[in-house]
């Protein structure tokens, strides 16, 4: 009888007991709004910003309501205006082009490679053809491109880099933490990310004016002096009069939950990678299946895994997905004609018309994706890999026999 997996792909670990206690304390005193503070109190949101800035090595940090809000605020803060063109990955998720649309700008999608990273040759061509001067770089599903080459290219062409690090909190490239290459970086603390507050986001930068604008956008009114990870008051003197309030503050309740998780983040990242490697090892050598190789310079966080069934007929891929689902393994496919759950692709976002992207089309047509929650044991991951390997093998053998 075939093995079957009985776990849940959407069940996260519980909030740590210390986080629950911190949240309860906030609820007991009732000061949930970040600027509602008692005498001498810093507040959970301000403390989270200070601690996350220290964790990443950034000068400044702002906590907001979501990763998507953080991206839109970052784009506005670096000067993107309605009608501007913004370069971005063709392989990403809807909040990324959504943030570009939020500021009235137009996405210019860049091809991705079979390694699921930005095609830097196409990036250079798109910079020249579009005239865009901002790149919103999405480290989609935790895959980091050659950041040394990318930053050199963008520096030479005068392109500002904003990093979307929703899937790379805790990761690095060549020893540099993810989010520390571009002028500003955005993180998510939505439930399925590396820290969980249901919804939430963090924005980091070393640039005084960018942070001052972002703080004003988030809705600080004149209370920016209650932050602990922002520039001196002089940075706000001009921008506070010309920056609209687009309220997106994180509250003290979510911040309290996140501060405890931040202290545990490095250990959690190691646990994810142990599980990722167990799945990866089980998928290696399966006929017809291509594992995404991770570069030596990339220190990633394996909270999800992807593989390619490159150039497979769609019906065969659907068969694999259906058979795996029957055995308890939930896989996502980026080749479907319509968006499913959280999975969509650039041609689904009809508010953002684009030219043909044949390389990306080929990659997405064969791309299979799977979440790896920490509620899975290593043995669970080994079982899941066996199930995927068996079902891919069966369909591939049947196809070869035809």
- Domain closes at, from 211, 228, 260: 260
Tell me: do 252 and 296 sit in the same domain: no
Q: Which two tokens stand for residue 68?
A: 């998507």
Q: For 270-312, how does the pLDDT look when each residue is reduced to its tens digit (9 = 90+)?
A: 999 999 999 999 999 999 999 999 999 999 999 999 999 999 9
Q: Which domain holds residue 394?
A: 265-401
Tell me: do 228 and 132 sit in the same domain: yes
Q: What is the dihedral of CA 34, 35, 36, 37, to 10 degrees?
A: 100
Domain at 58, CATH number: 3.40.640.10
Structural domain contains residue 54 = yes
Output the pLDDT for position 346: 87
Q: For 361-400, how does the pLDDT look when each residue is reduced to its tens digit (9 = 90+)?
A: 999 999 999 999 999 999 999 999 999 999 999 999 887 7
The percent of residues in the chain predicted with pLDDT above 70, rounded, is 100
Tell me: do 255 and 287 sit in the same domain: no
Tell me: do 283 and 240 sit in the same domain: no
The percent of residues in the chain predicted with pLDDT above 90, rounded, is 92
pTM: 0.96
Structural domain contains residue 2 = no
Cα–Cα distances in angstroms (integers) from residue 285 to residues 270, 289, 291, 385, 386, in the given order? 25, 8, 9, 12, 12
pLDDT at position 186 over 80: yes
Q: Please work out, in degrees rounded to the nearest 5, the angle formed at the alpha carbon of residue 247 by the alpha carbons of 243 and 252.
A: 125
Give mean pLDDT, residues 99-113. Answer: 96
Tell me: do 218 and 275 sit in the same domain: no
* Mean confidence (pLDDT) of the chain: 96
- Domain closes at, from 204, 228, 260: 260
- Domain closes at, from 244, 260, 276: 260
Give mean pLDDT, residues 120-135. Answer: 97
Burial class (CB in 10 A: 0-12, 13-18, 19+), 307: buried
Structural domain contains residue 177 = yes
pLDDT at position 345 over 80: yes
Tell me: do 256 and 171 sit in the same domain: yes
- Nearest CA to 341 out of 374, 370, 300 is that of 370
Q: For 152-166, how does the pLDDT look when each residue is reduced to its tens digit (9 = 90+)?
A: 999 999 999 999 999
Pairing relation of β-strands 367-371 and 304-308? antiparallel
Give the count of domains, the chain: 2
Output the pLDDT for position 348: 85
Tell me: do 204 and 328 sit in the same domain: no
Structural domain contains residue 3 = no
Tell me: do 178 and 98 sit in the same domain: yes
Tell me: do 163 and 276 sit in the same domain: no
Tell me: do 161 and 49 sit in the same domain: yes
Tell me: do 24 and 144 sit in the same domain: yes
| pLDDT band of 342, cuts 50, 70, 90 | confident
CA distance 185 to 230: 15
Q: With helix as H, strand as E and coil as C, how does 52-117 read?
A: HHHHHCCCEEEEECCHHHHHHHHHHHCCCCCCCEEEEECCCCCHHHHHHHHCCCEEEEECECCCCC
Domain at 281, CATH number: 3.90.1150.10
Tell me: do 31 and 107 sit in the same domain: yes
């Amino acid at each position: 009888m075939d093995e079957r997996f009985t776990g849940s792909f959407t069940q996260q670990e519980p909030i740590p007991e210390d986080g629950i206690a911190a949240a309860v304390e906030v609820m007991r005193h009732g000061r949930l709004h970040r600027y509602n503070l008692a005498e001498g109190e810093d507040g959970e949101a301000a403390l989270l910003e200070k601690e996350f800035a220290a964790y990443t090595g950034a000068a400044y940090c702002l906590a907001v309501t979501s990763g998507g809000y953080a991206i839109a605020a970052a784009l506005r803060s670096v000067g993107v205006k309605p009608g501007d063109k913004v370069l971005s990955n063709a392989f990403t998720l809807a909040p990324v082009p959504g943030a570009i649309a939020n500021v009235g700008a137009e996405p210019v999608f860049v091809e991705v490679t079979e390694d699921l990273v930005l095609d830097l040759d196409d990036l250079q061509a798109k910079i020249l053809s579009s005239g865009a001067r901002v790149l919103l770089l999405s480290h989609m599903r935790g895959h980091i491109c050659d950041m040394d080459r990318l930053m050199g290219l963008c520096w030479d062409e005068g392109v500002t880099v904003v990093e979307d690090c929703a899937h790379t909190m805790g990761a690095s490239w060549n020893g540099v933490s993810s989010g520390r290459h571009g002028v500003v970086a955005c993180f998510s603390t939505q439930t399925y990310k590396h820290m969980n507050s249901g919804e939430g986001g963090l924005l980091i930068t070393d640039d005084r004016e960018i942070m001052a604008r972002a703080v004003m956008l988030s809705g600080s009114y004149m209370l920016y002096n209650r932050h602990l990870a922002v520039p001196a008051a002089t940075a706000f003197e001009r921008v506070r009069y010309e920056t609209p309030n687009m309220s997106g503050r994180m509250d003290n309740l979510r911040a309290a939950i996140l501060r405890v998780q931040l202290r545990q983040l490095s250990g959690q990242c190691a646990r994810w990678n142990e599980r990722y490697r167990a799945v990866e090892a089980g998928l290696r050598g399966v006929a017809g299946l291509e594992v995404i190789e991770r570069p030596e310079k990339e220190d990633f966080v394996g909270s999800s895994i992807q593989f390619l069934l490159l150039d497979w007929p769609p019906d065969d891929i659907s068969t694999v997905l259906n058979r795996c689902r029957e055995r308890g393994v939930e896989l996502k496919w980026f080749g479907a004609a319509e968006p499913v759950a959280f999975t969509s692709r650039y041609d689904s976002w009809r508010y953002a018309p684009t030219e043909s992207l044949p390389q990306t089309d080929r990659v997405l047509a064969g791309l299979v994706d799977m979440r790896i929650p920490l509620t899975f044991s290593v043995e669970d991951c080994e079982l899941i890999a066996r199930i995927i390997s068996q079902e891919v093998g069966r369909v591939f053998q049947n196809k070869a026999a035809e």
